[in-house]
Amino acid sequence: MKLASLKTDHPDGKLVIVSHDQANCVDAIDIATNMQFALENWSSCSEALTARYLSLNDGLEKNAVAFTGQSTFAPLPRSWQWLDGSLFLNHGHLMQQAFHLDPIADADKFPLVYQGAGDSFLGAKDNIEVADLKHGIDFEGEFGVIVDAIPMGSSAAYALSRIRLVVLLNDISYRALGPREMKTGFGFVQAKGATAFAPVALTPDELGEHWKNGRVCLPLQVKRNGQFFGEPHGQEMHFGFHELIAHVAQTRPIKAGTVFGSGTVSNADPSKGQACISELRAKEMIQHGVGQTPFMQQDEVVSMNVTDANGQSLFGSIEQHVTVSDTSEKL
């Protein structure tokens, strides 16, 4: 099943079911007021949602309308908890090599994770509105999952069974601000912008054999201003999502609607490129002693997409322009 939230005046938007080919969508608000409600009531909602999805795919939904990713919020427009991992160890290895940092102890035993702002996610075509280009504007292509409630102390196996939706996201990062915050030990606050999501969330079954061991085993295509930037593959994720969730759930119960991110998708094979600028700069530093590729500037565009074997987009695409926030009205 495919779900999305159309933009409305309400911050939670309007829940719609999207057809398998993403050509059409149909209202689902009579089944679930919004995506958060659907997640909190999955056992009672999912059957009706699935029935309508099948009927939509068969062309039997009279109220179906054309679906365009232009007018979508994030599939879950805001979340009570957003926890972003860093589960592709290749990314960390490159950063450590480039910046001559000590390796993070036990990063292969305990998933790295920080808590981000889930109060207002961005839609797939929303601008990346930044305070200052000097902050080192970067994107990070990631996979994510949205879960049902999971009690404290649950196993990874149980967590896997509670993953309801898979998403594609852009974790917007301000690289000039990250190192100072990391050194404090308190994690990223100033260094992260609002996270953007591709229009469509998928139930894991939509991925077929590409959903394996709690990982999205597909390449994530990233372009900068329409040019190839990378297509790293999800299979090199060191921990599965279920292991990240169980790690967090060790000391806290997880509410329905909590979002978990994979961290920037990163592969050891250099021909795969990369899903963030800082990783390319790290490779340049290792090779040439200096990072050459600039971070994002005004009006630049980053796009992200994941396609199936037939070249069809699975989540719809992310396509975001950078704009500098108007500071003339600063308060």
Options 14-22, 76-84, 233-241, 305-313: segment touching its own copies (CB under 8 A): 76-84
Does 86 engage in binding with its own copies (CB under 8 A)? yes
CB of 25 to its own copies, least distance (A): 27
| Structure-token match 């649950």, residue found | 154
36 touches its own copies by CB under 8 A: no
* Closer by beta carbon to its own copies, 54 or else 187: 187
The per-type count for the chain, helices as H runs and strands as E runs, is 7, 20
Could you say which residues in the range 234-293 bind its own copies, by CB under 8 A?
A: 247-248, 250-253, 255, 258
- Rounded to 5 degrees, φ, ψ at 179 are -60, -45
Mark 158-176 as b/e (b = at least 16 C-beta within 10 Å). Answer: ebbebbbbbbbbbbbbbbb
Q: How far apart are CA 163 and CA 214, in angstroms?
A: 9
* Site mask for its own copies (CB under 8 A), range 140-179, x = bound: ----------xxxxxx--x---------------x--x--
Q: By CB under 8 A, tell whether 54 contacts its own copies.
A: no
Per the listing, tokens 């963030």 go with 276
Answer yes or no whether residue 180 interacts with its own copies by CB under 8 A: yes
**Binding track, positions 187-226, relative to its own copies; x by CB under 8 A:** xxxxxxxx--------------------------------
Length of the chain: 331
Closest distance between its own copies and the C-beta of residue 53, in Å?
28
Supply the Cα-derived Rg of the chain in whole angstroms.
19
Cα–Cα distance, 320 to 304 (Å, whole number): 9
What is the C-alpha separation between 323 and 286, in angstroms, rounded?
31
Q: Which residue has the tokens 């689902």?
A: 28
118 forms part of the interface with its own copies (CB under 8 A): yes
Residue type, 137: I
Query: Can you give the binding site for its own copies, defined by CB under 8 A?
Result: 78, 80-81, 83, 86, 104-107, 110, 112-120, 129-131, 135, 150-155, 158, 174, 177, 180-194, 247-248, 250-253, 255, 258, 325, 327, 329-331
